[in-house]
Amino acid sequence: MTWWEWSLVGVAGAVGAPLRYVFDVLVSERSGSAFPFGTMVVNVSGSFALGLITGLVMYHGLPKTAKEVLGTGLIGAYTTFSTFSFETVQLLEDGEMQGALANVAASLVAGGLAAGAGIALGGL
């Protein structure tokens, strides 16, 4: 990668991280639940977006640089595996075994389906 591409990844990451915060807070405040809906919405929508970008690269020739900048920079900063892991452990520590299992199952299933849907849409 060139210095210019590195710079674009950094700028995209600087956009993705605040977006994550805003969406997480908005969803969490509206849900009024201890369940981490904000993180789930962020990660599932990020999975869809990365799937869409991947589909556009695979089927429509979107340049690899765009995938690196948008996928790694923007979506990489937007999504968060560490927060998902932390919140799952926090649910376990609070005695919310069902909530922790639901978080893992729903995040994995919804994230996988969202990524697949994004790839499919990108292939149209």
- For the chain, what is the domain count? 1
Q: Provide the domain limits for residue 18.
A: 3-122
Concatenating the DSSP letter of every residue in 27-65 gives HHHHH-SSS-HHHHHHHHHHHHHHHHHHHHHHHH---HH
pLDDT tens-place values along the chain, 124 residues long: 899 999 999 999 999 999 999 999 999 999 999 899 999 999 999 999 999 999 999 999 999 899 999 999 999 999 999 999 999 999 999 999 999 999 999 999 999 999 999 999 999 9
Separate counts of helices (H) and strands (E) for the chain: 6, 0
What span, in angstroms and rounded, lies between the C-alpha atoms of 63 and 96?
45
pLDDT at res. 1: 80
